[in-house]
Amino acid sequence: MAIKTRKHENLTETNVQHVIDLLNDSKPITKKEACSILNISYNTTRLNKIIDDHLDTVAYRERRKAQNKGKGATEMEIKQVVNFYLDGANVSDIAKSLYRSPAFIKAIIDRVGIPQKLAQTDYEGRRNAMLPEQCVADEFQTGEKVWAVRQNYPALVEKELRPEEAEERGYRLYLCYTIECSQDDLKGSYFPHLSFAGKYYPLATYEMGKLEHLQKYL
């Protein structure tokens, strides 16, 4: 059973594993120090429960991954990958959710033609990002979910900007709202009622990727 986390506590999987590693080090930290790193009150019973819960979760995930190893992707898995990815989830988190490897998830993303989401610190990669062939288009519809190439996020088309200038410019310009934060991310925020959060950008067609070919998975 998952441990309930208070708002100020740092009980992410990465941090809990970090504490476990430190406790098992040749020069281990004390349990009081472990509680401090997790930002929880000093309580060895709760600390042990957090550690046990984490180890159970990791062990279960490894068992499920072993069961799935060598098996091809199901239609349901492909659909989940497409939806999770376009809602802003990263490859690592999707892999954990589906008990698959990151390489397996990445292969699905490449095969079905989803634009690659790069690390926010990969400025060079984002500057030179290329769209899959299926995504290239020169016209989009209001309300359509698209890929904002330079922003590195999926987005919603709000409206076309200055359509009368499209022929003169050689491309159309749209106002888009990037989906940079999912509803799960917003649950503990001041805006839990929102389905996503992001920013507005004016985008030219060459900065946008069409996702229509993924409709059958949505």
- CB-based contact 51:20 (threshold 8 Å): yes
Q: Is residue 38 part of a domain?
A: yes
Looking at residue 179, the DSSP 8-state letter turns out to be -
Rounded Cα distance, 99 and 69, in Å? 9
> Which residues have C-beta within 8 Å of that of residue 37, sequence separation ≥ 6?
10, 15, 18, 19, 22, 29
- Residues of the chain below pLDDT 50: 1
Q: Is residue 42 part of a domain?
A: yes
> CATH number for the domain including 185?
2.30.30
Given 68, 84, 104, which residue is the final one in a domain? 68
Q: Is residue 57 part of a domain?
A: yes
Q: Is residue 100 part of a domain?
A: no
Angle between helices 75-86 and 102-112 (to 10 degrees): 90
pLDDT of residue 185: 63
pLDDT of residue 131: 85
Residue 159 CA, distance from chain mean position: 26
Question: Are 64 and 135 in a shared domain?
Answer: no
Angle between helices 13-23 and 31-38 (to 10 degrees): 160
CA distances to 81, 144, 159 from 102, in Å: 11, 28, 36
Question: Are 63 and 137 in a shared domain?
Answer: no
pLDDT of residue 186: 62
pLDDT of residue 1: 47
pLDDT of residue 184: 66
Q: Is residue 1 part of a domain?
A: no
pLDDT of residue 202: 92
Rounded Cα distance, 48 and 54, in Å? 10
Which domain does 52 fall in, by range? 13-68
Look at residues 214, 208, 88, 196 and name the one whose alpha carbon lies nearest to residue 148: 208
Domain count, the chain: 2
- Residue-wise pLDDT tens digits, 117-143: 777 677 777 677 778 888 989 899 999
Given 22, 50, 68, which residue is the final one in a domain? 68
pLDDT of residue 35: 94
Q: Is residue 80 part of a domain?
A: no
- Residue-wise pLDDT tens digits, 58-75: 898 889 888 888 899 999
- CB-based contact 140:172 (threshold 8 Å): yes
pTM (two decimals): 0.59
Given 44, 68, 92, which residue is the final one in a domain? 68
Residue with tokens 């802003």: 88
- CB-based contact 179:212 (threshold 8 Å): no
